Amino acid sequence: MQIDIIGVPIDLGAGRRGVDMGPSAIRYAHLQSKLEDLGYEVKDEGNIEVAIAEMCKVTNPKLKYIDCIIPMSRRIAGAVATSVQAKNFPLVLGGDHSLSIGSVRGAARNRKIGVIWIDAHADFNTAETTPSGNIHGMPLALLAGKGEKSLVQLWDESIPVIDPSKIAIIGARDLDSGEKVNLSDAGVMVMGMEQIDRYGMVSVLEKAIERVSRDVDGIYLSLDMDALDPEHAPGVGTPVPAGLTQREAHLACELIAETNLLIGMDLVEVNPILDGQNKTAALAVEFALSALGRRIWNGQS
């Protein structure tokens, strides 16, 4: 299988600058060579064209930079759809989580997929519930058919892109009040840190995988590095204390890999400005390797 690396240097969806440098930081952490060491053919497709904030205007404070985010979303959707159609594996590097409006849509073109969303946040706000107007807090709601019509549709495609019953959010610990109502109404599975602490990552992931993998053509993994505790991943756009350990995140990726259903992956919200010695980007690379099958020991005990 060929892995297509697709960079999306966007920070328009976030409230803090710097995650637009995430794709470069992840590449710098030897992403391509480590994937090749696993035996994959790897092609770096470069970066999707993204306008910088200085070129864009906030025309709606509840949907900041929407006029620049829509064309970016269309471009990334096209690139991911092309990759999946060629039976390759798109590995999308961010950049803020608004990029998933396009990446997940592209993976879902002409197929039914489940989504595992590993994140400190649910990203299920709409213009009516958002406290910030930052679109990186909305992509999962948009993919489930909720929110601003121009972002939900992008083109004249059927909506929702993802059946909400095929979405599982893992590691959530910072939800807005209106967002909780949206999640409840949609019937999305949310397995927060409380459930992980109570039952363990294996039990939580098995339930999530069982939920999203039934009657689908594949699973898409969107991994926001702020799912990790800031002690492990300090260089993220929106850090939240009391998150996943490094080992828990590896285990989640390993369990998803074992399904043999993974068709694409996002690595988002790496902010090298806030990092130390590229620690968070290097960790992102390690998670990608786990999701793509790397194990320390594959023999019998």
- Give me the average pLDDT of each 10-residue run along the chain (301 residues): 97 95 98 98 98 96 98 97 98 98 96 98 98 98 96 80 97 98 98 98 98 98 98 96 97 98 98 97 98 79 47
Q: Which two tokens stand for residue 267?
A: 């690595």
Cα separation values, 48 from 20, 44, 169, 188, Å? 11, 11, 26, 30
> Which residues on adjacent β-strands are paired with residue 5?
44, 91
On whether residue 198 sits in a domain, the answer given is yes
On whether residue 301 sits in a domain, the answer given is no
Name the domain count of the chain: 1
Q: In what order do the strands lie in the sheet with 218-224?
A: 41-47, 2-8, 89-94, 262-268, 218-224, 113-118, 167-170, 189-191
On whether residue 298 sits in a domain, the answer given is no
Give the model's pLDDT for residue 301: 47
pTM of the entire predicted model: 0.97
Instruction: Residue 169: give its domain's CATH number.
Output: 3.40.800.10
Residue range(s) defining the domain that contains residue 53: 2-291
Q: Which two tokens stand for residue 134?
A: 């930052």
Q: Which two tokens stand for residue 84?
A: 């999946």
As annotated, the active-site residues are: 97, 119, 121, 123, 136, 224, 226, 269
Give the model's pLDDT for residue 298: 64
On whether residue 182 sits in a domain, the answer given is yes
Query: Cα separation of 243 and 228, whole Å?
Result: 5
Query: Cα separation of 255 and 15, whole Å?
Result: 32
Q: Which two tokens stand for residue 35?
A: 């994937």
Of 170, 174, 281, 173, the C-alpha closest to 225 is 281
Three-state DSSP class for 224? Answer: strand
On whether residue 253 sits in a domain, the answer given is yes
Give the model's pLDDT for residue 182: 98
Dihedral, 154, 160, 161, 167 alpha carbons, nearest 10: 140
On whether residue 113 sits in a domain, the answer given is yes
Contact (Cβ atoms closer than 8 angstroms) between residue 188 and residue 167: yes
On whether residue 224 sits in a domain, the answer given is yes
On whether residue 167 sits in a domain, the answer given is yes
Percentages (nearest 5) of helix, strand, coil residues in the chain: 45, 15, 40
